[in-house]
Structure 1
Amino acid sequence: MDPLKRRLIAGEWKTILDNSIKIYNAHKNKKGRKTIQWKNLAGIPEQKDSKTCGYWIMRYMKEIVEDKNLEFAAKWERRTNLIYTEKDIDQVRAEWAKHVIMFPDM
């Protein structure tokens, strides 16, 4: 899930996410169902610079949330040359700006 294709120290991200889920479940008084099975999605679109990370992640999350059939895992399972274009990132910027502009000045 790393858009810059850097790898964290062996399993570090899994520990971070597992602990985050445990904390969330404890906060919501939910019992954890079972151990999470993590899957490496080597074909996620690669981020081509170091300046669009926030927008890139929002675009990535949007694609997952809007995937009603949960086909994104199969789509990104194998290594590909997919990238988000500047147009894709600009769309996220515009949607974000439109949402933020709706809040009145404080």
Structure 2
Amino acid sequence: MSTKDLHGLALSAASSETARAFDHAVTGYLAYRADAPLRVRQLLSAFPEFGFGHLLRGYFAMLAFNLASVPAAREALETRAGSWQVVRGASKPTSPPSRTGWQGTSMPHC
């Protein structure tokens, strides 16, 4: 049985707690909550191995439409790239699936 988000979509999360924290962060963003960035920080603090949380952090950094935010987005991308794991009982990280389209490329130009 796979973990699912609040929309019933499969989520590569190790637990339902991770999925709930992710849903809480995304819901905060979609509802224009002022605490949405805090929700993302809480998600990553509780579940630092959750790659999708790092993608969300990078996305938030790029929302500023400011070149000064690119390093934070790049850091989130690099952290996420290093966090691939098989979440169903694996004891060590594994290689990510094919990353055609972003592997070896730089961040988009702003």
Q: TM-score range, shorter-chain basis?
A: under 0.3
Query: TM-score scaled to structure 2, two decimals?
Result: 0.24
Query: TM-score scaled to structure 1, two decimals?
Result: 0.24
Bigger radius of gyration: 1
Q: Which has the higher contact order (CA 8 A, sep 6+)?
A: 1
